[in-house]
Structure 1
Amino acid sequence: MITETPHRRRLAALTGLVTLLAGLLLAGSPARAAEFAITGVAASYRPGDLLDARVAGVTLDTGQSFQWRVRPIGSTGAGSAISGTGADAATGHLEQVVDAGLDDYELSVRLRSGTTVLHQTAWTPIAVTDLVEPLGVEFTGPSPAYLGDPITGAITGRQLDTGETVALVARTTGRWTPALFTTIDGRTISSEPLSPFDGEWAIQVVRDGIAVAQSEPVAVEYGRREVLLEGVQGVYRVGQTLRVSGTVHPVKDGLRYSWILRDNATFEAQTFDAGTDPANLALELPMTLAEDDHTLTLVAWWDYREGHTANAGQAAVPINVSDADPSTPLLFFNSLGDHYHQGSPINLQLAADPPLADGDTVAWEWRWPGGNWTAVPGATGLSHQVVAEQALDGVEVRATLTAASGGDPLVAEPVTIHVDDHGAPPHQRVTIGGVADGYAAGDEITLTASVEPGSVLDRWEWYVQRAGESEPTLIDGAHTAQFRTAATADLHGATMTARLTFADGTPYVESAPVTLNVEGGPSQRIVATLPEDEGALVVSVDPEDDVVTMSDFELGTAADRWTSTGDLRPVTVTDTRATAPGWVVSGQVGDFTNGGDILDGKHLGWTPLVTEQPDDGGVTPGAAVTPGLATGDGLSISNPLASAPAGDGTGTSRLGAGLLIEAPTTLVPGTYEATITFTAI
């Protein structure tokens, strides 16, 4: 999974992680929505009853079919496809033997032409009453839990009656399914998972093959361990030695490690046993031209007692080898860790060949996404250290060597810093000092903002909210840590807030408000006007809703491909430009990865839609893009999601799309993840 950090939310190019697990929603005309509906769903069921639902208001045309879907009540996802226990679901008649696991789900049906969704009904709730008293379940594994940890649970409640058994089921956003690699011994649950999980468990009471009661769900989460690599140079000369070190978090006795050096062209690989000591994860290899265009991966393995092995964590870095003339100077960064945690040191190390001579100078620069290169304060020579904070996530760093002997400057290829605390907020806290108990009209008010721990950011914004006003107002031109103004009567009872921001004004952290106490006297109000030539075009993704969960792969009707459907999470476009020049928002996906396995991004296609826009907004969805299984590039190249012509598109619009993956039947099993990037022009 990809997580949105504050600075990413301000970009005109945003990313969302696509993980294979869920579906899509498409809007239809209001007239059609009134006709297209589900009939036959009872107010409640008992386990073993037959749900007998039918489509009303639509007659299928040639090439059309119905697809039924269920999802938990309260979910905003597309749910999971359900074909029922009958044979006529595709023609509009769903028969499904009900069990306790369908309680608190809701049912919808789609009208499709081929795989294109033409319309979808409203969601209809399903209620199931347990036949017997349910049991309970508790997650007793560690928190946080990682692959290789004892993933355990406990069954609570009454004793089983004659003829009853129990089953553990799990879900993320779809239906309850049997929990894999899990055993139940009495009332103890033991799981030996092969892949990460973030969802829920429930325990079912089963009688005659039917779940007749189900416990309340319990949250369960476990993931891969973090593996970080450092020390790899950007490029090696033939004859140099690669020296790389790895760290694993959290460490665990019993993990075994291996280095894998894979040829990116032939996919042939060499494996080097790294033992079981996490304090000795280092590798040295002499570099020849044969190692050029390779990838080096450190994998932490966990061997379960039952004989299967889990990839408990891994990290990879590229290896490049040059046979350039030794007289040609080289300047490059050693590799950084895959990501850092807040408060940890980030060691930026340059390698220069030949070494620096007297009088040589190195200029360090960095830039935030979408920003300009600026000098790195205090950075000189071949090394520099900064403390990781969320404000540094996505920052590029480069260096330029100017030789005292003359010649063209040598520029090192940039490296990118990633800081990821897995959803934790920034550690920085802002406070405002200098507030007096009271002011007389005409006194000078001097307020000072400070941030702890310190930050690389130094741009501030100050806000005032006068008594009776509904929201704070930005004070124009106040962008330093100190704010001065004259005390006036209208500031009595006003609150002041200081906000630390990125260079483009995107918020990072802000203070709690402080209140001013100003006694009477003459005052003036300052009125600011927004000129017509101001405004901006911004595309954004909700950082709390930036993961698309696709449906599990299913064989296509011709059994010649794997297919998975999903629903793009909402993409918001706001255009406040008075000139209304129009805009186009496009999307492009990278390759899907499953460990070392890759599925080309061309296998993803979409059907765009506009879910919300102002009256007469003029926003239209882009053309549908077919997955490139046989031909075409799919979404591996940029394609329009929506557009607005000149004169239209102002205000806020929300975009979506139905997603479809078509993969070859040779696809290696596993969970595939990719990143889709949106751009607005």
Structure 2
Amino acid sequence: MVMFKSGAVRHRSMRWAAVLALGASAALVGAGPASAAEADITGGSLTWGFKSSFRNYVKTGNGNPPIAVSNGATVNTDGTFTFPSTGGTRDAGGGATSATYGGTVVFSYPAHFFTITLANPTVAISGGTAALKADVDLVTTESEPVSVKQATIATLTVSGSNPATSGNTVTGSNIAAVLTSQGATAFNGFYTAGESLDPVSFTFSTGGATPAEPTVTVTPSHGLDPAGATITVRGAGFDPDANNAAGIYVSFGPRVDEHWANAGVLQVTKWVNKTNEPTDARDRMAADGSFNTTLPISAVYTDRKGNQVDCTQVQCYVITFAARGSADRSQDTFIPITFTRTGGGGGTAQQRITSTVTGGPLTLSVAGSGVELPAVGKGEYAKAPLNPATVADLRGIGTGWSLVGQVSDFASAGGVIAANSLGWSPTATAVVDPIAGSSGVVTPGAAAAPGAGLGEARALCTAAAGASNGIFTCGAELNLGVPASAAAGDYVATLTLTLS
């Protein structure tokens, strides 16, 4: 929590000052261990179509394709989209919820000069009110581009019975959604604030025992005949219900960047889930998350792009990962496989070295206890740096995060200054890791000018999925514009930083 307090009227009656201080009750999502009533969200999905009339309009356009999904999002038969759970928390006592989901939908209509990207929706519930947030990027030749992280797109109408709770599972069914002013801006004014959007349905599960970490053993795993061998792959600790029970792929081949989206380099893949009937290409996962299957492999093969892969020259692995292109990386494992080299003379000896790296938390800390803005007169600007915020993403799963800020109105005994009078110019840097060089990639939020400032939640800094691990410093130059109509006096406001 950031407190703004104006200084007393000093030598001139038309001059005043503002003080910014960090309180001990800061509202930080993911900043530390959950409270006694707060539980981590461990699975679920969200289904939404934005607005059916908009989808039908975009489908008539010349996008290639007009509507595309990626990063785990899927298209349903009715044209709506399903996004897999990526976590979040729920307070079972008060009902406060931040349920996050992954996946990306792109609406493209080049003939009408726009491309809109909608990603990573979040259902936020607090105090009997609910909202749907998402990352929105708008590219158009008709106006300046828009890029907003976790914009509040819609308000949701929740009641005492919807969403409903059954055990550790919460389900919201066809919840009415209404476009917000921020959502209208992010979608280029296609619709005005207050219009009805498609209803939202979601589910998520919390609590229960901590899921086991996936483990895999391969027999045999070394000294294989390069001409070909059948290996047995046994797994345990997988989640058969994750990602809408899509299951996992069990594959063989080299490890490449974004392996879940580059399966063409793999020699063989078997789909394993809890409902499959065993075939040459499929197998079944038990209710406890275990499986036992086989893969026929050889040292040299031609991948789907026509390239020859030689696993005696490059390291190949038995690889498991979430099925259907899911963004869930918790099902990933890599077991190295070696073959006996052929040819005259020489020889090799190998030792398998293993190590366990434990995951850490996603935390936020802020330096200093206060920021003082200089005294200024009416119609002037007061500038000072925000106390630097440090975000440490030590989870090791690279799912991305965002740090946003929003301020309340400034209040004094003599009047009010609107929250949007406070703007900022964010900065962000990655802290160098002395062991492995640079950390992930952090992006500062867009600058917000006084008058169109922090009355709405705005990104201070963000890190995208796949590049969010590490330690980062985020700051901003604060800029408070004092309206000419402001009364002289001491003002106070609250700025909340939220990490999610």
TM-score (norm 2): 0.34
Instruction: State which structure, 1 or 2, has the greater radius of gyration over its C-alpha atoms.
Output: 1
Higher RCO (CA-CA < 8 Å; seq separation 6+): 2
TM-score, normalised relative to structure 1: 0.27
